[in-house]
Amino acid sequence: MSEHLFLRTTIAIIWDFDTTLIPGYMQEPLFRRFGVDGSRFWKETNALSQFYRERGVTRVSKDTLYLNHILSYVKAGRFAGLNNRLLRELGREIEFYPGLPDYFPKIKDRIAGNPGFAKHQINVEHYVVSTGIPEMIMGSRIVAHVDDVWACEFAEASAEPGYLEKPQSLFEQNAGVICEVAYSLDNTSKTRAIFEINKGCNKMQEIDVNATIGQDIRRVPFQNMVYIADGPSDVPCFSLVSHFGGRTYAVYKAKSDKEFQKAYDLQKQQRVEAFGEADYSDGSQTAMWITKAVEDIADRIVRDRTRLLGDELGQPPAHVIEPPKPSILDQNIPAEVGVDTPVPKKSAGVARVAQAKDDKPETATP
């Protein structure tokens, strides 16, 4: 059979984080620890675009402005001594929606425990793609069940001029305190993370995300993906996954008209297949829809691999069967009757046989 780098039997469930897996924003434990008014922090963050424009900046990345504002709070002493270790520690305080994190291993085990799927080595992987902070995600209860995380990262040291010759100087000043944004992800560049999952860059670092790789040899085909998020800011990811045959689902916070409307509009605009309450407990609509979507993908993988196996191996040789000889009735009737071909008259005996055949009830053909 043809050799490929990947089996292509992995199903990727890709999750947004804030207001998808948790009711609010992951930064809440950070605000509590330092006694910062979270609503004021976000109000200031939302006003930064105008602040920069008034000072000559033409374009800003709205999704990641909060990272700079966190650093401003560090410099001002409001988040004194904040480092990645503390961010991970604060991640333990993150509260999840009902059913989480239990749903993550349950859906993995459900697929792994199906003999028909196991035969084809079908498995489920969970990925978080977020504009949030990875250290907080990695410190949360969900981390044990997540295969990889894409989010915005802070560095605790600045690479000063000449740092290659004096590497120790990196840690002599402000050691152990976040001071720069090392990696950022906005709602458009989140699609890059999905391409990395698609091509297998996260599993084999020698594969560059911009490398030309045929659709038929990528590790996780888009049609093997389920993308779950909560709002209009996820439209680029919804569109990418949908365009290539993946599954999409929006969630909303229970009893919130505003959140329901957002999810409703996404479906109305055909951005997502379906939507439901952010409840992942057993028997909930959302848990059942995601489970069914994953099983549908697994069934399709089985069909595709079974068909491919038949195409690759070919059909086994069969015995040659002689066609039956024509009966005496058939010998009196031309094989093809045209408009100018006279049909011979049937004898009375033949007519009776024909009538008997006409009177016989029809049987279904399998």
Look-up: residue for tokens 């560059």? 208
What integer pLDDT is reported at residue 342 of this predicted model?
45
- Written as tens digits, the pLDDT of the chain (366 aa) is 334 657 799 999 999 999 999 999 999 999 999 999 999 999 999 999 999 999 999 999 999 999 999 999 999 999 999 999 999 999 999 999 999 999 999 999 999 999 999 999 999 999 999 999 999 999 999 999 999 999 999 999 888 888 888 766 555 555 689 999 999 999 999 999 999 999 999 888 888 887 888 888 899 999 999 999 998 889 999 999 999 999 999 999 999 999 999 999 999 999 999 999 999 999 999 999 999 999 999 999 999 999 877 655 555 555 656 666 655 444 444 444 344 444 444 444 444 334 444 443 333 333
Please name each of the domains of the chain with its CATH number: 10-36+79-151+186-313 (3.40.50.1000), 328-352 (no CATH)
Cα–Cα distance between 13 and 8 in angstroms, integer? 14
Buried b (16+ CB within 10 A) or exposed e, 227-255: bbbbbebbbebbebbbeeebbbbbbbbee
Number of H helices, E strands in the chain: 13, 8
What integer pLDDT is reported at residue 117 of this predicted model?
97
Nearest to 177 by CA among 90, 79, 88, 91: 79
CA 277 distance to own-chain centroid: 18
What integer pLDDT is reported at residue 5 of this predicted model?
58
Q: If 0-12 CB within 10 Å is exposed, 13-18 middle and 19+ buried, where does residue 131 land?
A: buried
What integer pLDDT is reported at residue 32 of this predicted model?
98
What integer pLDDT is reported at residue 177 of this predicted model?
94
pTM (predicted TM-score): 0.82
Q: State both tokens at 341.
A: 């071909």
What integer pLDDT is reported at residue 210 of this predicted model?
78
What integer pLDDT is reported at residue 334 of this predicted model?
43
